Amino acid sequence: MILVTGGAGFIGANFVLDWLAQSDEPVVNLDKLTYAGNLENLASLQGDARHVFVQGDIGDGALVALLLAQHRPRAVVNFAAESHVDRSIHGPEDFIQTNIVGTFRLLEAVRAHWGSLDEAGQAAFRFLHVSTDEVYGSLAPQEPAFTEQHRYEPNSPYSASKAASDHLVRAYHHTYGLPVLTTNCSNNYGPYHFPEKLIPLMIVNALAGKPLPVYGDGMQIRDWLYVKDHASAIRRVLAAGKLGEVYNVGGWNEKPNIEIVKTLCALLDELRPRADGKSYREQITYVKDRPGHDRRYAIDARKLERELGWKPAETFESGIRKTVQWYLANPEWVAHVQSGAYRDWVQKQYS
């Protein structure tokens, strides 16, 4: 079996669902269930003996040691993190605790467990660390996309904490020989995406008749990948990645934010037209920019394609349509995540 951390969050849950749709290899899922963790994402696995959920913190060394000893997974896939840049600006502390200290404690527990395995067990074991393109900083308009050789230049407390965790993972390979793999992926979108991030926030606000808050001039560029393509890339790296290596994951879909918002408006105009016959575009509102806002991210994913034969299955057009359709088909999920805590966040960030 494998141990997944953060598997009740957006990407982790999609990964677990896809993993169990494609194989019968069980998953132990360790998640703290912060505001971003949601067992409803995993509702379709209820009663499925292949999925064992454990609520807990990756920073709890004793708990992780117990889970490793009990279940003896052949791999750990680490999704657990605080993941929202705007929240890291309001309060970096949780990011330091989970992303840096938590990853360190997880690595320590995994190192001790790995050290206790026999030779064959050690050779087969993998620790896959899921990271982000944001560790590479911001690109100028004409600069080539980030390769794995790009220097680390994180600009937000979020990206700095992820960069620190990447360095720890690398060091555990070089110093202790821990069999690690790291993936650095571009912005994901798709089902179960918490509506604090750009794409789900815009869909949810549009349908609620609320303003669509575009930061600054809306010309910041992100490189978008459908979440299930990220899951397939992680499966591929886990199966065939070279130990100690880093793989960039992306779909060659660079888009300015305003174009994303207009695309979402056009899809909603088609699939769920406003009662007054006007376009959702009417709701677009330019608001104060994010402090230190990175201008452009772009991922060069050629290493993953060349060495491991991975390619995304979705185009941006097919993926974004599926995403909008998913939100339209799942109003209960949306209503449930918009709890009191969610409303407090929206008030703090957008008032």
Question: Binding residue for ligand NAD (CB under 6 A) from 10, 280, 297, 345?
Answer: 10
Distances (CA, A) of 240 to 124, 131, 177, 237, 280: 11, 18, 18, 5, 45
**Catalytic pick among 31, 57, 136, 158:** 158
Q: Are 188 and 227 contacting, i.e. CB atoms less than 8 angstroms apart?
A: yes
Q: Which region among 106-114, 211-219, 267-275, 311-319 touches ligand TYD (by CB under 6 A)?
A: 211-219
Interface with ligand NAD, residue 34, by CB under 6 A: yes
- Look at residue 195 and give the partner it binds from ligand NAD, ligand TYD, none, a contact being a CB closer than 5 to 8 Å depending on partner kind: none
Closest CA to 193 of 60, 4, 11: 11
Interface with ligand TYD, residue 204, by CB under 6 A: no
Interface with ligand NAD, residue 57, by CB under 6 A: yes
Interface with ligand TYD, residue 193, by CB under 6 A: no
- Look at residue 4 and give the partner it binds from ligand NAD, ligand TYD, none, a contact being a CB closer than 5 to 8 Å depending on partner kind: none
Interface with ligand NAD, residue 319, by CB under 6 A: no
Ramachandran bin of 166, using left for φ above 0, alpha for ψ from -120 to 50, beta for the remaining angles: alpha
Q: Are 244 and 174 contacting, i.e. CB atoms less than 8 angstroms apart?
A: yes
134 labelled catalytic = yes
**Catalytic pick among 31, 134, 196, 300:** 134
Q: Which two tokens stand for residue 40?
A: 């409803």
Q: What kind and span of H or E run contains 127?
A: strand 126-132
- Look at residue 198 and give the partner it binds from ligand NAD, ligand TYD, none, a contact being a CB closer than 5 to 8 Å depending on partner kind: ligand TYD
217 labelled catalytic = no
C-beta closer to ligand TYD: residue 64 or 198: 198
Question: Binding residue for ligand TYD (CB under 6 A) from 220, 248, 263, 323?
Answer: 220
- Look at residue 215 and give the partner it binds from ligand NAD, ligand TYD, none, a contact being a CB closer than 5 to 8 Å depending on partner kind: ligand TYD
172 labelled catalytic = no
Q: Are 251 and 314 contacting, i.e. CB atoms less than 8 angstroms apart?
A: yes
- Over 75-126, what HEC string results? EEEECCCCCCHHHHHHCCHHHHHHHHHHHHHHHHHHHHHHHCCCHHHHHHCE
Question: Binding residue for ligand NAD (CB under 6 A) from 29, 88, 103, 187?
Answer: 187
Give the separation between CA 49 and CA 40, rounded to whole angstroms: 17
- Hey, what amino acid is at 264? L
- Hey, what amino acid is at 301? A
Interface with ligand NAD, residue 194, by CB under 6 A: yes
Give the distance, in angstroms, between the CA of residue 57 and the centroid of all CA atoms in the same chain: 18
- Look at residue 79 and give the partner it binds from ligand TYD, ligand NAD, none, a contact being a CB closer than 5 to 8 Å depending on partner kind: ligand NAD
What is residue 137's three-state secondary structure? coil
Q: Which residues bind ligand NAD (CB under 6 A)?
A: 5-6, 8-12, 30-34, 36-37, 57-59, 79-83, 98, 102, 130-132, 162, 185, 187-188, 194
By annotation, the residues acting in catalysis are 133-134, 158
